[in-house]
Structure 1
Amino acid sequence: MSNIATGQQIINWFEQLAPKHLAMDKDPIGIQVGTLNKKVNKVMVTLDVLENVVDEAIKNDVDLIIAHHPLLYVPLKQVNPDHEKGRIVQKLLKHDITVYAAHTNLDVTKGGVNEALCEALGVEPKDILVETGSEKLYKLAVYVPETHQDQLRLALGDAGAGHIGDYSHCIFQTPGTGSFKPLDGTNPYIGTQGEIEKVEEVKMETIVPQSLLTSVLKVMEEEHPYEEVAYDLFPLENKGEKQGAGRIAKLDEPKTLRELAEHVKQSLEVPTLRVVGDLDKKVETIAVLGGDGNKFISQAKRKGADVFITGDLYFHVAHDALGMGLNVIDPGHHVEKVMKKKVKDYLQAEFEKQGVDTELMVSQVNTEPFQFI
């Protein structure tokens, strides 16, 4: 018998990759059209939600579209099928297709769009280009019988709890005695209904990042022997991992700007691109930001970048970059298409882990609006 996930289950798993709280202020992320309260036989991942993409979804019996660029970036004042947006909404509703958007939260997150671009370029991110905050941390304290301490300790660490710097499975534990009395209707792992039971227990304390909190608590409950798990959760003032837009990286060896531009063309599969700067100048430190990076040229320069790889460069911003001695490579906005495979691979692994039979596909429609002649 097949196990088909609901839309809400799928988005719960997906938001462990791209939590909503990472999105920039007023970014219209989340459900755009439809409902998550239904079974989803097929998911399609896409960069954009254009009419030809929706037609592709209809043809392939897709129930849920996960997109990077929001369909309703600007709120609609009317749903008029005489206009493209109105037709798109009408088709989605008619065919019961839900659209969910993950925009700047997918840009910012670890393993998101900007890191996928770095991966495609063959460079390792070393720093954040524009820091927007840091991940919130929690301290988890859980009480477990001595007999199950090793099993629970390993499970919590494997789920991501207790990661500090380059160390994993960091857990502090204190021995003690726990007591409880099982009441009517309970099915205690240890003890007898109506009688006070004393058990040698261990208090385990560890650190958990907000993005992993739900999954860590789930693992804790699954691996703990007790019917009711006793635990405490405390928000911490400690700073977690830095979060932000764009990435800073270094090439394995310096290249000329011309050589790097050719490498970008091949790696990101673009027929042409725009370059600002001296093509024969050697570059080594690069800033990478998918989408429109016009606001961030000063940050790229301050971070020590020799060249900024971004899209949608404005004419006057190109002059500003020249003036400050910053080279720029503009391969276009559409290179963010790298997110399609990244998201599909992430969800495929999650579906296999959860034993889910929901299908996944990547949109094959080309949504690049520009032609190059």
Structure 2
Amino acid sequence: MFAKGQTVVQYMEQLAPKHVAMEGDKIGLQLGSLQKENRNVLVALDVNEEVVDEAISLEVNLIIAHHAIIYRPLAHLQSDTPMGKVYEKLIKHDIAVYIAHTNLDVTDGGMNDWMAEVLGIESAGSLEDVHTDNLYKLVVFVPKDHHEQVLKAMLNAGAGHIGKYSHCSFNLEGYGTFKPGEGTDPYIGTEGKLERVEEIRIETVVPYSLRSKVIQAMLKQHPYEEVAYDLYPMDLKGRTFGLGRVGKLSKPVTLRDFVERVKARLEVPMVRVVGDLDRPVRKAAVLGGSGGRYWKSAQFRGADVLVTGDVDYHTAQDAWMAGVAIVDPGHNAEKIMKPRVAAWLSEKLTEDKYATRVHVSQVNTEPFRFL
């Protein structure tokens, strides 16, 4: 059995939920259909013509990429332009393209956690918070004989997380009253007769992003024709998502040695460096992609160095004068995501007994050459 594109994307969105993406980011399905079965899926950093040719050779029907293929509004779609040729090949060969960008960057266990891990940045926290999933209280009244299955459904759908604790709920026994009206089909009771039923009140917390999912799971398992439940906001913050990561190294190193670590572990031949190569580095920050403008956040968090790409001249000057070192390995260092996303999807597909194969793109999409 092969997974449809929509199933593959659902797994992807478990890792990188769409709602945590930065406002205006071009994510999600950008071309093609997710309603078809996929024998093969390709994970890539960028999608250029060479990557599309690779997908065609592997008989891929879905590409999961980090960088958008449609970033600005299209005024026309001409097949004799470089990107027009890419779109044409994708359409002719029935290949869909799905993008996970800043949502993959900020999520727990995503791009910036991977980069922090390989660089040896420990106990890494966010460099700058960008999204908080506020909490809601969900209360529902359930007959005793359905209590366990309704509660289990709600918790499995994502309710009940408080900090590092899961499956949190409060359950109180009591009595519910109701009178089924004309034309009803009650699970308990008789039409026109006042009923008094032993019920359990379930209370739990639900993050904003999972409200609909948890409520639907609850309603599916609840036996009543009309379910009594309450949902109201709480003055509590839930899970916070942030750009970049910052934390301490296991032991201090010189900036010179740290640069060699970046080159080796991010697999880049050269880097640009701002700062004294003999200065000690005890705390480091990392932000995949173009993150030069966040050097002040790195400074505020006490980082000795910021690892990020596409740093411009004047930003480098400002950071240098402020005493913040920068290591710029280039934007393509984000290629670290390819094997990790592929491994995530492969594991999920295997768990659910799908035969769909996930491939890691072998195309080097780095546009710069180092001479």
> Same fold, TM exceeding 0.5?
yes
Q: Does 1:34 align with 2:38?
A: no
Structure 2 counterpart of 1:13, from 11, 14, 21: 11
Partner of 1:118: 116
DSSP 3-state at the match of 1:92: helix
Distance, in Å, in 2 between the alignment partners of 1:217 and 1:13 is 20
The answer as to whether partners of 2:122 and 2:250 remain within 8 angstroms in 1 is: no
Sort the Cα spacing of 1:256 and 1:219 in 2 relative to 1 into closer, same or farther, 3 A: farther
Which whole-Å deviations, capped at 9, do the CAs of 1:43-67 have from their partners, x for residues lacking one?
2111101110011111111111111
Within 5 A, what are the aligned runs for 1:68-83?
Answer: 68-83=66-81
DSSP 3-state at the match of 2:320: helix
- How far is 1:75 from its partner? 2.8
| AA aligned opposite 1:252 | S
When structure 1 is superposed on structure 2, of 246-255 and 30-39 the one drifting more is: 30-39
Sort the Cα spacing of 1:316 and 1:351 in 2 relative to 1 into closer, same or farther, 3 A: same
- How far is 1:316 from its partner? 2.1
- How far is 1:165 from its partner? 2.1
Sort the Cα spacing of 1:185 and 1:365 in 2 relative to 1 into closer, same or farther, 3 A: farther
Distance, in Å, in 2 between the alignment partners of 1:360 and 1:214 is 30
- How far is 1:137 from its partner? 2.3
Structure 2 counterpart of 1:174, from 158, 167, 172: 172
Distance, in Å, in 1 between the alignment partners of 2:258 and 2:145 is 58
Sort the Cα spacing of 1:224 and 1:343 in 2 relative to 1 into closer, same or farther, 3 A: farther
Within 5 A, what are the aligned runs for 1:210-229?
Answer: 210-213=208-211, 216-217=214-215, 220=218
When structure 1 is superposed on structure 2, of 107-116 and 153-162 the one drifting more is: 153-162
Partner of 1:346: 344
The answer as to whether partners of 2:162 and 2:238 remain within 8 angstroms in 1 is: no
The answer as to whether partners of 2:349 and 2:356 remain within 8 angstroms in 1 is: yes
Distance, in Å, in 1 between the alignment partners of 2:45 and 2:319 is 28
| AA aligned opposite 1:66 | I
The answer as to whether partners of 1:118 and 1:125 remain within 8 angstroms in 2 is: no
| AA aligned opposite 1:111 | G
Q: Does 1:260 align with 2:281?
A: no
Structure 2 portions without partners, runs of 5+: none
Within 5 A, what are the aligned runs for 1:88-99?
Answer: 88-99=86-97
Sort the Cα spacing of 1:215 and 1:359 in 2 relative to 1 into closer, same or farther, 3 A: farther
Sort the Cα spacing of 1:329 and 1:182 in 2 relative to 1 into closer, same or farther, 3 A: farther
Partner of 2:302: 304
- How far is 1:161 from its partner? 2.2
Partner of 2:248: 250
When structure 1 is superposed on structure 2, of 247-256 and 142-151 the one drifting more is: 142-151
When structure 1 is superposed on structure 2, of 318-327 and 340-349 the one drifting more is: 340-349
Structure 1 portions without partners, runs of 5+: none
The answer as to whether partners of 1:126 and 1:248 remain within 8 angstroms in 2 is: yes
When structure 1 is superposed on structure 2, of 349-358 and 51-60 the one drifting more is: 349-358
The answer as to whether partners of 2:140 and 2:202 remain within 8 angstroms in 1 is: yes
Q: Does 1:284 align with 2:274?
A: no
Distance, in Å, in 1 between the alignment partners of 2:356 and 2:233 is 36
When structure 1 is superposed on structure 2, of 202-211 and 146-155 the one drifting more is: 146-155
Distance, in Å, in 2 between the alignment partners of 1:179 and 1:6 is 46
TM-score where L is the length of structure 1: 0.88
Distance, in Å, in 1 between the alignment partners of 2:181 and 2:10 is 34
DSSP 3-state at the match of 2:338: helix
| AA aligned opposite 1:55 | D
Query: Over the residues paired in the alignment, what is the CA RMSD in angstroms?
Result: 2.8
Partner of 1:55: 53
| AA aligned opposite 1:253 | K
Q: Does 1:25 align with 2:27?
A: no
Distance, in Å, in 2 between the alignment partners of 1:355 and 1:182 is 47
- How far is 1:345 from its partner? 2.7
Number of residue pairs aligned between Structure 1 and Structure 2: 370
- How far is 1:213 from its partner? 4.3
The answer as to whether partners of 2:254 and 2:279 remain within 8 angstroms in 1 is: yes
